Amino acid sequence: MRVLGQLEVAEFVRGHPEEADLLRAWLSEVRHHRWANSQALKADFRSVEANQPTRAVFRLGPKPIVVETIIDFRNGVVLLVTLSVSDVMRRTVDD
């Protein structure tokens, strides 16, 4: 997939350097996949919310980092819309 919004990711990392590795790993994963539809995306990312045909919200890490995107599956493009850190800690299975 082609990812649009990498400058925004770099800017976010400047303000949240502790999240750099997690975001780099996510970018790498997204770049090396080509999903046909949201069902295929959900198969690779269990925590993604992709209930609308073109919108997907990724929650990364324990804080979590919330990455809102618009995905054009046909053309293989992911557009980053919003990138933020959630105030709510994600619960783990052990909680």
Domain range list for the chain:
2-85
* Contact (Cβ atoms closer than 8 angstroms) between residue 75 and residue 95: no
Give the integer Cα–Cα distance in Å for 71 and 3: 9
Q: Sheet with 65-72: list strands edge to edge.
A: 2-4, 77-85, 65-72, 55-60
Q: Read off the pTM.
A: 0.85
Give the integer Cα–Cα distance in Å for 59 and 56: 10
Residue 94 has a pLDDT of 40
Residue 65 has a pLDDT of 94
Under DSSP, is residue 42 helix (H, G, I), strand (E, B) or coil?
A: helix
User: Could you tell me the mean pLDDT of each successive run of 10 residues in the chain, 95 residues long?
Assistant: 94 94 95 94 92 92 93 96 77 41
> What confidence tens digit (pLDDT) does each residue in 64-78 have?
999 999 999 999 999
